[in-house]
Amino acid sequence: QVQLVESGGGLVAPGASLRLSCEAQGGTLGRMAMGWVRQRPGKEREIVAAVAWHGAAPYHADAVKGRFTISLDNAKSATYLQMNALKPGGTAVYFCVAAATFADIRNFDIGYWGQGAQVTVST
């Protein structure tokens, strides 16, 4: 059974950078889309970034556009989220997700969830 395993969370100061990694274990994802969903304290889950299996035209939420970048390694069924210029508002649990299509992620029709990685942005 496929499991998504995340790494790279932690505590950083405002303005710092952090890179989250996620790799499928126990199988491959084939042509599934992958993405990142976060849940900030007291807020609903929101899609941060998503990318189709071919890697073209990735999606980034307006709140992170220009600072966060999603990338994909199909050979490893892995995705990465490079987060630059982090703000305190970026404090959240970040979940790696996979779905049949890019549109499914955008619609929160998620097939696989990672366990979540805590990112805390604070002085």
| pLDDT given at position 55 | 85
List pLDDT tens digits, range 26-83. Answer: 988 889 999 999 999 999 999 999 999 988 889 999 999 999 999 999 889 999 999 9
Cα 18 from chain centre: 12
Would you state the pLDDT for residue 56? 86
- Structure tokens, 29: 């994802």
CA distances from 92 to 44, 52, 110 (A): 11, 24, 19
Residue 99 pLDDT exceeds 90: yes
Inform me whether the pLDDT recorded for 3 exceeds 90. yes
H or E stretch including 103? Answer: helix 102-106
CA distance 23 to 40: 23
Per-residue pLDDT tens for 103-122? Answer: 999 999 999 999 999 999 99
